[in-house]
Structure 1
């Protein structure tokens, strides 16, 4: 996508965009900011505009885009919540427009946006949009950790009721226990993202995203299973991150999951996910045993759907 302007406006709500456009180019309402970026080339900055009175409704909207007539084609499986979350976290800057009647609630939304996109600038009405600088290369929020970037922030102490936490671990998840715990893990969570691995499929990176609904899926293989002669084909940041964090037993396999929400309990999330990890006894039985574990994810998320490393 090419443009002559240095700043593009992005957002799901057209009326909010029109209020601040001021002659700037506006992306179509279902476009994600990363689609305007081309690796290795200069790219315009993308500012996502979010109206205060619609943010929470948007993040929790489970309707598929096809239900509201905004899907691109039959392959577009995104929901409204997915789109709103990605437009926020992929932005170079986020602009919250409008004020709620309660000043404390408006402050809560500002904290929430900073937790959702800690790497973005955060603007107020009247701030100069032209001062925002864009980045040329997309870095997907769910898999940032594979390249050594944080997938979120660990701020478990509530600020205006908003908490955020990160779960990290090395040993794999037991597929049945994780499957049974998904509803408990996502309770009170407005946005979660990251990646993990299952004992039943130790060669595969699985991505995790929730906003409205939860979406899991195969992403790629771990570098541990990649022949040495193909390492040069892998992104340099990912190679470096893997080398710095390489484990003598697990290699580059690990989990990194970020959770953000209002009134969520970070301790409960951590304890629930920890109970889903393999026990010492299960771990000691080895990889061939793990591969035989019942896997309720296998039918919905076949490994053949994964992209290249």
Structure 2
């Protein structure tokens, strides 16, 4: 894209929040900073049949003719519908600033990746817009309640309209991790330390994000980044940030009792011993994310996610192999760089890497429990064929394949 085309692009920002009130507050702050911004507010409603949801859009700001053409509902893939709306806005306005307000029923990161994907025969949105930082409004009381809620599931929409529901805790954690800016709202009871404790937790869950403490007399100059292009997108496209084998971001130190612990190992895990270690690992963990190298599935990346007391493990694609150039080409630039950095002549990029965040974690005890679950020298020497026969109470028996 030439310099002239870049100069003509508009700006697209995303706003969400864990309550309608805090989402509205972030929108108010954005409209103060950019009065001419057009706000495209979205609601997504499932009908319970597993089919595509109903997507309602409402527009504030901008020109009246554009508001009238977009205030409507449609049934279909939310990303497809919103992409068409953004195309329409770009064709009728010169360098528009659009703020996309998403409900908490949308999984922000995969939704943005799907929105930014270019369908065959269509003009990429990146030709019309630069991405501004994603802003998330946070109500402290609601957040702490949601992170404890693992008994109830919620339907969220991202890249797959028919994806399985998530726990409320997992959905809340993902929303925070998608943000570049978080606006932490004050209110009654903030003198009990809950707000500061929540701020410390946000800093560990998403160390690269700016956390802004909001109040009626807040200094709005701290939010000017919300109305500028986010330079971070120049090095990683939205889809690249979803790669399960991604750079680990961890905040060091202890803040209001909250800490983050990184565990790494270059040996495969024994699934039965990993299961036995969980009671020593998971108490006091609020959130953990990463990937595993499981002995029973040596060719497969296993995704690890926990929120509250709910732990989810699932197969998330394959490890990069020397003899598979197509997989290398399909991988994100950051994934290829990491694989080259960590490459082992025998095991390739395989490794375990998890970050645990919680209150009063014991790093030595946590790491020791996981270290006891990897294969010892004798088990390692047996090779992948024997590993595949190990009992696996977490993932079950592996399907017959090249690794077994």
TM-score (norm 2): 0.66
Aligned to 1:202, the other structure's residue is in SS state coil
Q: 1:27 to 1:195 in 2, by over 3 A?
A: same
Q: Deviations over 1:249-288 (max 9, x none)?
A: 3211001101001122222110110011111221122222
Q: Distance in 2 between matches of 1:245 and 1:8?
A: 34
> Structure 1 residues 285 and 107, CA, compared in 2 at 3 Å: closer, same or farther?
same
Give the secondary structure class of the aligned counterpart of 2:361: coil
Q: By how many angstroms is 1:230 displaced? A: 4.6
Is 1:28 aligned with 2:103? yes
Query: 3-state DSSP class of the match of 2:346?
Result: coil
CA distance in 1, matches of 2:338, 2:22: 39
Aligned to 1:131: 225
Q: Is residue 2:278 matched to residue 1:178? A: no
Name the stretch that deviates more: 182-191 or 31-40: 31-40
Cα distance change, pair 116–53 in 1 and its aligned pair in 2 (3 A): same
1:216 matches 2:313: yes
Give per-residue Cα distances to partners, 1:71-98, cap 9 Å, x unaligned.
5676432111111101101111111111
1:266 aligns with 363
The answer for the alignment partner of 1:116 in structure 2 is 205
1:89–1:141: 8 Å Cα contact kept in structure 2? Answer: no
Q: Give structure 2 stretches of 5+ with no counterpart.
A: 1-9, 32-38, 40-98, 118-123
Instruction: Spell out, residue by residue over 1:107-153, the C-alpha distance to the aligned partner (whole angstroms, 9 max, x if none).
Output: 22211101100121221213354422445422677856x34x22x31
2:398 and 2:170 mapped to 1: Cα distance? 18
CA RMSD of aligned residues (A): 2.7
- Is residue 91–residue 120 contact of structure 1 (8 Å, CA) maintained in 2? yes
Aligned with residue 259 of structure 2, among 125, 141, 163:
163
Contact 1:7 1:130 in 2 (8 A): no
Matched, 1:15 2:115: no
Question: Could you tell me how far apart the structure 2 residues matched to 1:71 and 1:31 are?
Answer: 5
Give the number of the structure with larger relative contact order, counting CA–CA contacts within 8 Å between residues 6 or more apart.
Answer: 1
Q: Residue 315 of structure 2: SS of its match in structure 1?
A: strand
Contact (CA 8 Å) 1:95, 1:122: kept in 2 or not? yes
Q: 1:263 to 1:303 in 2, by over 3 A?
A: farther
Q: Aligned equivalents of 2:208 and 2:338: distance in 1?
A: 19
Secondary structure class of the residue paired with 2:313 = strand
Unaligned runs of 5+ in 1: 305-309
Q: 1:45 aligns with which of 125, 133, 136?
A: 133
The answer on 1:92 being equivalent to 2:180 is: yes
Cα distance, 1:192 vs structure 2: 0.3
**After superposition, where does 1:52-67 map in structure 2 within 5 Å?**
52-66=140-154
Q: 1:16 to 1:301 in 2, by over 3 A?
A: farther
Q: Which stretch shows the higher mean deviation, 277-286 or 253-262?
A: 277-286
Contact 2:320 2:327 in 1 (8 A): no
Partner of residue 247, structure 1: 344
User: Does 1:187 find its partner at 2:283?
Assistant: yes
Number of aligned residue pairs = 294
Deviations 1:21-41 (A, max 9, x none): 215552122112221342672
CA–CA separation in structure 2 for the residues paired with 1:71 and 1:233: 27
